[in-house]
Amino acid sequence: MRIAPTACIASILVVLPLNAQSSPGVPAESGTTANAPSRVVATLPDSTFWPEGVDYDPRTGRYYVASVRHRTVAEVDASGTVRELWPRDRAGFGSILGVRVDTARGVLWATTSGLRQMDGYVAGDSAIAALLRIRIADGAIERRWDVPPSARGHVLGDLAIAPNGDVYVTDSFEPVVYRLRAGGDTLERIVSPLFRSLQGAAPTPDGKSVFLTDYSRGLLVLDVASGAVTRLDDAPGFSSRGCDGIVLDSSGAIIAVQNGISPARVVRFVIDSARTRVVSATVLDQNSAIADEPTVGTIANSSFVYVANSQWEKHDDMGVRKPGTKLTAPVLLGVPLP
pLDDT, tens digit, for every residue of 328-338? 999 999 999 98
Task: Note the CATH number of domain 6-336.
Answer: 2.120.10.30
CA-CA distance, 308 to 117, in Å (whole number)? 19
CA-CA distance, 199 to 173, in Å (whole number)? 10
pLDDT, tens digit, for every residue of 30-70? 233 335 789 999 999 999 999 999 999 999 999 999 999 99
Q: How many CB atoms lie within 10 A of CB 282?
A: 18
Residue 322's contacts (CB-CB under 8 Å, 6 or more residues apart) are: 314, 315, 316
pLDDT, tens digit, for every residue of 240-251? 999 999 999 999
CA-CA distance, 114 to 96, in Å (whole number)? 9
Task: Point out which residues pair with 277 in neighbouring strands.
Answer: 233
Model confidence at 131: pLDDT above 90: yes
CA-CA distance, 242 to 265, in Å (whole number)? 10
The dihedral sign for the CA sequence 55, 75, 261, 21: positive
Determine if the peptide bond prior to 51 is cis (ω within 30°).
Answer: no
Write down how long the chain is: 338
Amino acid at 189: R
CB 158 within 8 A of CB 97: yes
Weakest mean pLDDT among 15-24, 58-67, 139-148, 329-338: 15-24
Its pTM stands at 0.91
3-state class of 107 per DSSP?
strand
pLDDT > 90: what percent of the chain?
86
- Domain boundaries, given as residue ranges, for the chain: 6-336
Mean pLDDT of the chain: 90
Strand order in the sheet with 51-57: 51-57, 62-67, 73-76, 82-84
Q: In this predicted structure, what is the pLDDT of residue 152?
A: 84
Model confidence at 17: pLDDT above 60: no
Residue 302 phi, psi (nearest 5): 65, 20
CB 306 within 8 A of CB 210: no
Angle, alpha carbons 202-197-282 (nearest 5°): 50
Residue 12 per-residue DSSP state: H
CA-CA distance, 255 to 240, in Å (whole number)? 11
Q: How many CB atoms lie within 10 A of CB 21?
A: 14
